[in-house]
Amino acid sequence: MTQLDNGVPHSARVWNYWLGGTDNFAADRAVGDDFAAFYPDIVVVARSSRAFLKRAVTYLAEEEGVRQFLDVGTGIPSAEHTHQIARGVAADAQVVYVDNDPLVLAHARDVLGGEAVYLDADLREPGSIIASAGLDLERPVGLILTNILGHVAELDEAVAVVRGLMAPLPSGSFLVTADGTNVIDGAAFEAAIGVWNANAPLSYHLRHPDELARFLEGLEVLPPGLVPCARWRPPEDASPDELRATDEYAAVARKP
């Protein structure tokens, strides 16, 4: 049985804390609070990112008929995660989660049951992920890469990861992506990221939207394009506060 170090902050648990979850410990909450002291909008970022994921997966399942989802770097599969969203639309939706973290694996085993498949694999080995995911590559796949590519320090490597994962997928597949940016309140966010990188074993790197756009090259980007999470197809009754842009940009794109 894997021993988990509860005294070291962990990105999945800190994100869970910002989302209002309970799968976190004192070390996670301390770093989360220190981060928020520099950048209070991080809670808004986390929750608007999750809301974007819900809208994107719902759209793919309802409007595009996607029934296979590959969620790489998923983090802790807590409330309103990909399998719950997709299966809420289509009971036959297949979801494969990918992570290589023992903490996430432990949580996944506890909460997923038979609702989704969990694959222990490394983001930087896209060929291994595709080979092991058990997907039907004759049918479209929704590839989800949210808040994970920022953990790859070199942009060219991150782009190569995206292309390596998309290349084997059939025409009509989709990329759902979102990551932290530094254009709206960049100085504060960069300062907070500095706190994170000094305290956590896995660093994160903010990028300009022009850099994130490289992940979408060769794909058909759906309207409204690469935009702050809150601005991607918001509900008609969204309040001005819910539409407020923060430093995480998102997009959904189709493979021709």
C-alpha 23/C-alpha 49 separation (Å) is 18
**Is 3 inside any structural domain?**
no
**What's the number of domains the chain is made of?**
1
**Is 33 inside any structural domain?**
yes
Report which DSSP code applies to 207.
Answer: B
Q: What does the pLDDT profile of the chain (256 residues) look like in tens digits? A: 344 556 777 777 888 888 888 878 898 899 889 899 999 999 999 999 999 999 999 999 999 999 999 999 877 766 678 999 999 999 999 999 998 877 777 776 666 666 788 888 999 999 999 999 999 999 999 999 999 999 999 999 999 999 999 999 999 999 999 999 999 999 999 999 998 898 777 899 999 999 999 999 999 999 999 999 999 999 999 998 889 999 999 999 999 9
Range of the domain at 170: 11-254
**Is 6 inside any structural domain?**
no
Angle at 92 (CA atoms; ends 88, 94), nearest 5 degrees = 90
What's the whole-model pTM score?
0.93
State residue 93 phi and psi, 5-degree precision: -65, 135
> Residue type for 93, please?
A
**Is 4 inside any structural domain?**
no
Per-residue confidence (pLDDT) for residue 196, from 0 to 100: 86
**Is 54 inside any structural domain?**
yes
Nearest of 74, 78, 80 to residue 101 by alpha carbon: 74
β-bridge mates for residue 146, sequence order? 178
Report which DSSP code applies to 8.
Answer: S
**Is 173 inside any structural domain?**
yes
C-alpha 78/C-alpha 57 separation (Å) is 15
Q: What is the number of H-type helices and E-type strands within the chain?
A: 9, 8
- The residue with tokens 């300062």 is 191
**Is 226 inside any structural domain?**
yes
Residue 214: Cβ-neighbour burial (10 angstroms; 0-12, 13-18, 19+): middle
C-alpha 54/C-alpha 198 separation (Å) is 31
C-alpha 201/C-alpha 12 separation (Å) is 12
Following CA atoms 94, 78, 248, 42 in sequence, which dihedral angle do they give, to the nearest 10 degrees? 180
Helix (H, G, I), strand (E, B) or coil at 39: coil
CATH of the domain at 130: 3.40.50.150
> Residue type for 91, please?
A
253 neighbors 174 (Cβ within 8 angstroms)? yes
Nearest of 156, 130, 157 to residue 143 by alpha carbon: 130
Per-residue confidence (pLDDT) for residue 230, from 0 to 100: 97
